[in-house]
Amino acid sequence: MRIVFIHHHLRTGGVTRVISQQIRSLGDEVQVLVVVGEPPSHTPPFPFAVVSQIAYDRDRKTRADPKNIADTIVKKTRSHWKGEADLFHIHNPTLGKNRDLITAIKLLQSSGYRLLLQIHDFAEDGRPQNYCDEQYPDDCHYAVLNKRDYAILMRSGLKPEGLHHIPNPVVPPVSEVRQENKKEIVLYPVRAIRRKNIGEAVLLSLFLRNKEGVGVTLEPTGSLDCRSYNDWKVFVKEKNLKVRFGLGIDSTYEEVLGSTRCMITTSIKEGFGYCFLEPWVCQKMLFGRLLKDICDDFTSNGVDLGHLYERIAIPLSLIDKRGFFSMWKQCYRERLLKYGLEANDSKIDGGLQSLTRDGCIDFGILNENNQRKVVDRLLKNKGVREKILDMNPFLIEFTSFKDTEDTIQRNRSVVEEHYSLENCKERLLDIYKKVLDTRIKHGIDKRVVLEAFNTPDMSHLLLCDSAYGKD
């Protein structure tokens, strides 16, 4: 079987990692060619071809002719194998990073080629700059990373025989960890972009015991993310908090893990959710924020995440309530209007009421300035600290958990069983066979997808550019 993987690039990141692991899992079962829009910075361990017209729009000087894109992909494929491919496995084609690619895919389909479109991220999910009105290809097979996205696309009009669930394989990021005697780091192994909710990691550092401190591994690259990150660095230094940044810059991941006691996650938005699985294969306990719509997949397979929390309740009295209400409504209205969704006052007011019905707000909904106000109040007022502990008792025993080693080993076994490379191979081969054997008639109603991803509980101010720097 000849499989062509298609993506915009092979830069370091989630999609590249998944493509590499899928190819690794398949081994000698299939022949592969990876078609990308730019030469990779390092030679990958698989054959590749460059079709510059499928690079990101921002990296191209001119638009491309979709027919030329389709013809070039076919030409590169035929040149590599001296024959035709059996199937094109296209990663993230609907994200809108290349406006010409969707039309090119439709042309490939009309020429009789079998397609599997795997969606990692949705333009409908907080990426209005990538969204366009053009309909996604009808009558081809789709794949998603989790059951949440599967349910959304089923509601949008896809049929189960043409929609597939492909969870990412989970491979230990390091082969062996040298354990240090002193394990004083509670590690947040992320690139510190805004949606990773760095302020909540700072908040959690106030509830650690002994000499432990929170460590964040990597710096962001985007301009707004960098500004947010630098603001947190200044704040942490001014308040003399037990938080360290950039641990992964001058040290290897193995070295950092060696002095790590446990890991945390405070992210408010994930696609697949590696952060909930990788700690166990690194033999580390995980604490922090649970994203239920993502984690339901893992817990249904037996991963124990019952000690994580879904919300940190903060009394509205600790922030400027009127200013926050105005800011949140403005951001939610902006988000809805950018997608052409209804943004009437009753819908927006109702959304805000649902988030604040108990006189509190989830810390993860706040923007950075309000998060810093809460942390500052906690530091200055013992009564505020006690009130927050009363409302969030899990913080009292944060990172203190009985039977830790048993939990790590049980979860590690589940992850190795359900998310192994072998499991990935079997699933992929089965899906490829279905794509080749099953013709499907269905399509996606994009409005259903838009409405699913733009509910009030998804309107975090950390995802709103205009909320940055406001009080």
pLDDT in tens, the chain (471 residues): 999 999 999 998 889 999 999 999 999 999 999 999 999 999 999 999 999 999 999 888 888 899 999 999 999 999 999 999 999 999 999 999 999 999 999 999 999 999 999 999 999 998 898 999 899 999 999 999 999 999 999 999 999 999 999 999 998 876 665 666 667 899 999 999 999 999 999 999 999 977 789 999 999 988 999 999 999 999 999 999 999 999 999 988 888 998 899 999 999 999 999 999 999 999 999 999 999 999 999 999 999 999 999 999 999 999 999 999 999 999 999 999 999 999 999 999 999 999 999 999 999 999 999 999 999 999 999 999 999 999 999 999 887 877 789 999 999 999 999 999 999 999 999 999 999 999 999 999 999 999 999 999 999 999 999 999 998
* Token reading at 136: 């996604």
Residue 166 in contact with residue 434, Cβ under 8 Å?
A: no
Residues 6 or more apart from 444 whose CB is under 8 A from it? 135, 136, 138, 142, 153, 156, 157, 158
- Residue 239, Cβ density class (10 Å: 0-12 exposed, 13-18 middle, ≥19 buried): middle
pLDDT at 398: 82
Q: How far is CA 222 from the centre of its chain?
A: 16
pLDDT tens profile 332-370: 999 999 999 999 999 999 999 999 999 999 999 999 999
> What is the DSSP code string of 144-158?
ESSHHHHHHHHHHT-
> What is the DSSP code string of 99-138?
TTHHHHHHHHHHTT--EEEEESS-TTTT-GGG--SPPPPS
pTM of the predicted protein model: 0.94
Distance separating alpha carbons of residues 139 and 162, to the nearest angstrom: 8
Distance separating alpha carbons of residues 178 and 200, to the nearest angstrom: 29
Domains contained in the chain, CATH given: 2-120+137-169+420-443 (3.40.50.2000), 171-309+398-419 (3.40.50.2000), 312-391+446-471 (no CATH)
Distance separating alpha carbons of residues 158 and 442, to the nearest angstrom: 5
Count CA within 13 A, CB hemisphere, residue 171.
15
* Token reading at 2: 């000849």
Phi, psi of 256 (to 5 degrees): -65, -45
Q: Indicate the pairing of strand 31-36 with strand 2-6.
A: parallel
C-alpha distances in Å from residue 190, one per residue of 13, 84, 232, 266:
12, 41, 15, 10
- Residue 192, Cβ density class (10 Å: 0-12 exposed, 13-18 middle, ≥19 buried): buried
